[in-house]
Structure 1
Amino acid sequence: MSIIDKTILFVKQQLENAEGGHDWFHIERVYKNALLIAREEVCDLTVVKLSALLHDIADSKFHDGDETIGPKTARAFLENENLDQKIINHVINIIENISFKGGNFEKKLSRDFGTKELKIVQDADRLDAIGAIGIARTFNYGGFKNRALYNPAIAPNLNMTKEEYKNSDSPTLNHFYEKLLLLKDKMNTETGQKIALERHKYMENFLSQFYAEWEGEK
């Protein structure tokens, strides 16, 4: 069995009871997105595949905000499979730097870390946060956290710190402005940018319809 097949089995087991927006199917979609983007890029496909499969193996949102659990879990699995240490380090660097942290936060990549594979997997993950599926995931997680759908009295906060973003309990619709609508301009690859533009327009149309229905105009 290949390392990719073993990784797929491992991830499916780890995420068997995960929240619907961060389950195996999320991983599978990101994996497919990454392969699609990688076709147009010169990259290490093994690193891209492993990083896409392991990027959300233990999301900090479901582990009291601990951002170290995911990388540790991924490293332990890969080392147990006796994978080359250089590949392991590359994958872990991607996992540690892939997420949209929110707030006023700058990623700090090590100087010797090649970012081509990061850019591919990061775009693949961000694509799953926008468009029709992004909308579905956002409201699914909002329901999971028992958040209001929308409250006109609570405006989106675009000046949050990283900690404020992580701990926010604002209405779900605010998340569109605090993250989803920002992702189009944060894509790294040409393929990612093209797909993101289409999904961004879909979200804008959704919001227009939402507000119209909210106000009883449609």
Structure 2
Amino acid sequence: MSGAGALRRLRDVVAADMAGADVAHDLGHLDRVAGLTARLAMREGRDGFVAAVAAYVHDHHRAAEARLGRVVAPAECRDEARDALRRAAIEEALWDPVLDAVEATGRYTFSAGEPAPDPVGAAAVIAACLHDADMLDAMGAIGIARAFAYGGAIGEPLWDPSAPPSSQRYRSGPTGSVVAHFHEKLLRLRGELRTAAGREMGERRHAALEEFLRRFREEWVDAHGDDATAPPAP
């Protein structure tokens, strides 16, 4: 099977597996992350096909989170991701390198708790590219769209002056508002990017986040007459 054919087959398999995932981790997200991961990997001198395969199976833990109602690490869903590779007839020799890269992404963190060490070994470069692609999809215009789609799905307000952004380390789960989420997480992603190409793309996407927040704040002040209840400037 050609690389393109194998990816189409894997995409079909994963589409069914991810049917219960939240709106921010749908098949469209996987398509975008697969494309970005492949591009970043090739810039790093790695196999873009292997990188794209890893991207398509990197979010099985999100479907598990939707089922179980708790945070699930990628390592907990290694068997499910392996089964997806098997059903898609991905070459068996690629399974462990792909799964190791996916698992390694779970050791990158800026959430509350002790920071984990960087992944090492053969999976490290693919893991860094996958990590950056995932972060990049949470930034820029698409990141803005995803944030509001997810916030709407869970009933978060656009902005709640009584629930300002936390200055503490980011914690998974709902925040006080979608705009608070920008300050608590999305504006911090630029500093988490691991590859040179990812950082280059991240600059443009970070600028889009800041421009959106400036305009949101201006329009909030227009509506309310002062800035006492407006969100903080980016």
Q: Does 1:118 align with 2:124?
A: no
Matching of residues 3-22 of structure 1 within 5 Å = 3-16=6-19, 18-22=21-25
CA-based RMSD: 2.5
Does 2:210 align with 1:204?
yes
Q: Is the 8 A contact 2:30 2:56 kept in 1?
A: yes
Structure 1 segments unaligned to the other structure (5+ residues): none
| Letter paired with 1:84 | E
Report the AA paired with residue 28 of structure 1: D
The reply on whether 1:84 has 2:92 as its aligned counterpart is yes
Report the residue type matching 1:199 in the other structure.
R
Determine whether 1:98 maps to 2:102: no
- 2:186 corresponds, among 176, 180, 190, to 180
Q: One-letter code of the match for 2:172? A: K
Counting only pairs closer than 5 Å after superposition, residues 129-168 of structure 1 correspond to structure 2 as 129-160=138-169, 165-168=171-174
Query: Number of residue pairs matched?
Result: 214
Aligned mates of 1:135, 1:82 — CA distance in 2: 34
What is the TM-score normalised by the length of structure 1? 0.85
CA contact (8 A) 2:104 2:123 kept: no
Which amino acid in 1 is paired with 2:149?
Answer: N
Query: How far has the Cα of 1:88 moved from its partner?
Result: 2.1
1:37-116 alignment, distance < 5 Å? 37-59=40-62, 60-63=64-67, 64=69, 65-67=71-73, 70-79=77-86, 81=89, 83-84=91-92, 87-98=94-105, 102-108=111-117, 112-116=121-125
CA distance in 2, matches of 1:189, 1:95: 16
Distance in 2 between residues matched to 1:189 and 1:101, nearest whole Å = 17
Q: Percent identity?
A: 27
Q: TM-score, normalised by structure 2?
A: 0.79
112-121 or 184-193: bigger deviation:
112-121
Whole-angstrom CA distance in 1 between matches of 2:110 and 2:151 = 17
2:230 aligns with: none
CA displacement at 1:152 relative to structure 2: 1.8
* Deviation (angstroms), 1:47: 2.6
Which residue is equivalent to 2:231? none
Q: Output the amino acid matched with 1:77.
A: A
Aligned to 2:220: 214
Q: Distance in 1 between matches of 2:143 and 2:197?
A: 18
- 1:21·1:140 contact (CA, 8 Å) conserved in 2? yes
Change (3 A) 1:101 1:213: same
User: How many angstroms apart in 1 are the aligned matches of 2:134 and 2:157?
Assistant: 25
* RCO comparison, higher one (Cα < 8 Å, 6+): 1
1:28, distance to aligned residue in structure 2 (A): 0.7
Gap runs ≥5 in structure 2: 226-234
| 1:180-216 CA distance string (max 9 Å, x none) | 1111111111211111100111110100110111111
> Could you tell me which of 7, 25, 29 is aligned with 2:28?
25
Question: CA shift at 1:132, angstroms?
Answer: 0.5
Distance 1:157 1:96, change over 3 A: farther
